[in-house]
Structure 1
Amino acid sequence: MTRVSFRGVRAVLFDLDGTLIDSAPDLGAAVDAMRIRRGLASLPPEHYRPYTGSGARGMLRAAFDISPEHEEYDALKTEFFAVYAGCLTQRTKAFDGVADLLASLVGQRMPWGVVTNKAERFTLPITRAMELFATASVVISGDTTAHAKPHPEPLLEAARRIGMAPGDCIYVGDDERDVLAGRAAGMRTVAAQYGYLGPGADASAWGADAEVSSPLQVLKLLDLP
């Protein structure tokens, strides 16, 4: 954990997948089902986990070694979304410590929210199904605004909706694009090293203001009990 203190913070915004929730099992199961349909061998969940942060692109690469340039990519992506929509919350759960982290923020009357690149058609069913998100002040999906991260607009929209200046917020995420978006929005940033760091990723090189190896370490950055 990086030993810094974020004084003056009035709100905390989080990425979703790999930061608050572990959705890798459902994402992996969806794309693995596509392999099985095609007579291919099932792959273990550990194979898919490192690619989870890249969404459909990462999952299809892990399952079929295919890139967006491939002529079959769009059809596979559409199929993946349909299969995933049917198992959104079967295996997905919050990371250890997240519930206590959010309860502490609520107890300190500090607003918190979600800013994710996950499409609203998936984000809203998940956040509505998990009691964890009942206290969220804002949920911004990848298609809520005209831009997705690393563009700062989703974070700026979240700040507007909770009535905070961007400089009063910190953003916690497990991907370099989270840090880039947070910095561009004028927020201090925290790299979640426990998340879905892709192959060869080096979170220490992203330029975040702090790094944490567990959710509860965010409280220490805020000097909250």
Structure 2
Amino acid sequence: MSHDFKLSCVLFDLDGTLVDTAPDLIACLNFALADSGIETISVESVRPLISFGASAMIKLCLQDRFTQDLHDSLLITMLDHYQTHIAEHSVFFPGMPETLAGIEASGLKWGVITNKQKRFTEPLMTALDLNQRAACIISGDSTGNSKPHPEPMFAGCKQADVAPEECVYIGDASHDIAAGKNAGMKTLAALYGYLKPEDTPHSWGADALIEHPEQIEAWIKTALCH
């Protein structure tokens, strides 16, 4: 790690990095499928696509029966149901509450930059009692571009009043690491998140690979010692 790196803020992707939202998202997907008379899908088969959004999850379920009208109908049903069942089963990844507490105890800021739409991000953060703790909350529709574009990263820095080069961004998808790098941030790839079988996180160019949230704290302590 560079000796001139000064860490001021730890930034997280939301789904698959800060919070395990898979149980609620997949329950709402299966609600929409059942509502249309389509067989439901297992958690294991669709979980890796969560980082790529509801549309990608639906396309996996439909495959050769895909029509745009059916896709759009399922998407509306799923997201409307999700909005009213935002945090029934979603939980922090093990060790994440302690990691956030450790970040705050170190005097660092932390925030969330996600491609999730604002109508879902804000109620989820509220339900988890995080909205008053986060120095920034940037959603996929908060800016004109979403990740991997650096615009949301810069918006998060402005909201948190920190410089991008003093931030580390943690995410579980290649577009997360690309977004952080495009903004000049340090990056950590969350291997405990929603990775696809064909993903090669070692090739994403992250500064470190994190197998569980406790390793985030260890990385931060190393950064603060420089």
TM-score (norm 2): 0.91
Give the aligned partner of residue 49 of structure 2. Answer: 51
**1:166 corresponds to which letter in structure 2?**
P
**1:64 corresponds to which letter in structure 2?**
L
Q: Does 1:148 align with 2:130?
A: no
Matched residue pairs, number? 222
Match of 2:209, SS state, is: strand
Give the aligned partner of residue 61 of structure 1. Answer: 59
Show the 5 A alignment for 1:73-222.
Answer: 73-222=71-220
Q: Does 1:40 align with 2:38?
A: yes
Q: Answer whether contact 1:68 1:74 (CA < 8 A) is retained.
A: no
Separation in 2 of the partners of 1:10 and 1:120? 25
Separation in 1 of the partners of 2:78 and 2:56? 12
TM-score (norm 1): 0.91
Q: Relative to structure 2, which stretch is displaced further, 48-57 or 140-149?
A: 48-57
Q: Answer whether contact 1:115 1:158 (CA < 8 A) is retained.
A: yes
Instruction: Find runs of 4+ consecutive structure 1 residues off by over 6 angstroms.
Output: 66-69
1:42-62 deviation line (CA, Å, top 9, x unaligned): 333222211211111222023
Shift of 1:71: 4.3
Shift of 1:132: 4.2
Any unmatched runs of 5+ in structure 1? none
Match of 1:143, SS state, is: coil
Shift of 1:39: 2.7
Using a 3 Å threshold, how does the CA distance of structure 1 residues 199 and 89 change in structure 2: closer, same or farther?
same
Using a 3 Å threshold, how does the CA distance of structure 1 residues 79 and 10 change in structure 2: closer, same or farther?
same
Separation in 2 of the partners of 1:184 and 1:190? 14
Using a 3 Å threshold, how does the CA distance of structure 1 residues 43 and 198 change in structure 2: closer, same or farther?
same
Shift of 1:67: 9.7
Q: Percent identity?
A: 36
Any unmatched runs of 5+ in structure 2? none
Separation in 2 of the partners of 1:206 and 1:67? 33
Using a 3 Å threshold, how does the CA distance of structure 1 residues 46 and 23 change in structure 2: closer, same or farther?
same
